Amino acid sequence: MRSILSIAAAILGLTTSMSHALAQSVSGVSGTDVTPGDGVEYRFAYSPENDGKDEGFTHRLNYHHSFDEAWRVRGFVVMNRRGAQALKAKSATLEVLYQFFEDQEHHGWDSGIRADGVIPLEDNRPGRARLAWLNAFHPDAQWEIRANFYIGREFGVRAKDGFIIETREEVTYKLPSGLKIGAHMLDNYGASAHFGSFNDQKHQLGPIVKGKLGANLKYELSALFGLSRAASDADFRFFISCAL
């Protein structure tokens, strides 16, 4: 436990001396496996100062309840702070996930559909309704491949025309120690009314490490680096979750 926290502190400490970012992300590549019970999660992301924008800090607090091995609801609040500004609540989200494929019954393939609703907690920000198709494939006991597809619609003030299209991908390999290492990619193509060029869209790629602390605690350490101009140059993240 102490060694893992030391690694996390070292990574977060390192980021304070770097300078590349536009905005920080606490989004991940979602899995689909639903386990009965409750759980909580904390997510943190840091973006160093860059291009005249102050460094950014984002926090996300999650709570979920799974009714059985197919249905799960999750709610979370995102808060952020940039530079010397005060920490502010940015949005509240409610998700409902239905898992219709279980890997033991479908040759290593998990799949589910999720409906999301986002309510803005800041002025001059749109809300969003979104559907997600979530997939995970396990070719063997070591490898996991995740792929997410999202289609959403903004509403309210400053809402974009058309549908917002996103994809997310992740590949991890499980070491003999149980630690998982790999890479993940987040792609936001923008609104269907005007996708724009690659640099107008948000594309990020980076490494990820996942592990467990006992039976109930899980953690992730990751980074995302911008591949396009519109994306954040660098996001450094730490996630920790606990099954209740």
Residue 51's pLDDT band, with cuts at 50, 70 and 90, is low
Domain carrying residue 151: 2-243
pLDDT at 8: 41
List of residues 6+ apart from 190 with CB closer than 8 A: 160, 164, 165, 196, 200, 201, 202
Which is higher by pLDDT, 106 or 15? 106
pLDDT at 103: 86
Among 23-32, 68-77, 135-144, 214-223, whose mean pLDDT is lowest?
A: 23-32
Mean pLDDT, rounded, for 205-210:
99
* Total domains present in the chain: 1
Write out the E strands in the chain.
37-47, 56-66, 71-82, 88-101, 109-120, 127-137, 143-155, 164-174, 180-191, 202-213, 217-226, 234-243
Among 7-16, 27-36, 127-136, 167-176, whose mean pLDDT is lowest?
A: 7-16
**Distance, CA of 83 to chain centre:** 23
pTM: 0.87
Here the CATH number for the domain that contains residue 142 is 2.40.160.40
| Residue-averaged pLDDT of the chain | 90
Residue 6 in this model has a pLDDT that exceeds 80: no
pLDDT at 49: 83
Residue 13's pLDDT band, with cuts at 50, 70 and 90, is very low
Residue 205 in this model has a pLDDT that exceeds 60: yes
Residue 5's pLDDT band, with cuts at 50, 70 and 90, is very low
pLDDT digits (tens, 9 = 90+) for 120-176: 999 999 999 999 999 999 999 999 999 999 999 999 999 999 999 999 999 999 999
Mean pLDDT, rounded, for 99-123:
94
pLDDT digits (tens, 9 = 90+) for 65-93: 999 999 999 999 999 998 888 999 999 99
Helix (H) or strand (E) holding 15: helix 2-15
**135-167 in b/e burial notation, b at 16+ Cβ within 10 A?**
bbbbeeeeebbbbbebebbbeeeeebeebbbbb
Would you say 185 and 205 are in contact if contact means Cβ atoms under 8 Å apart? Answer: yes
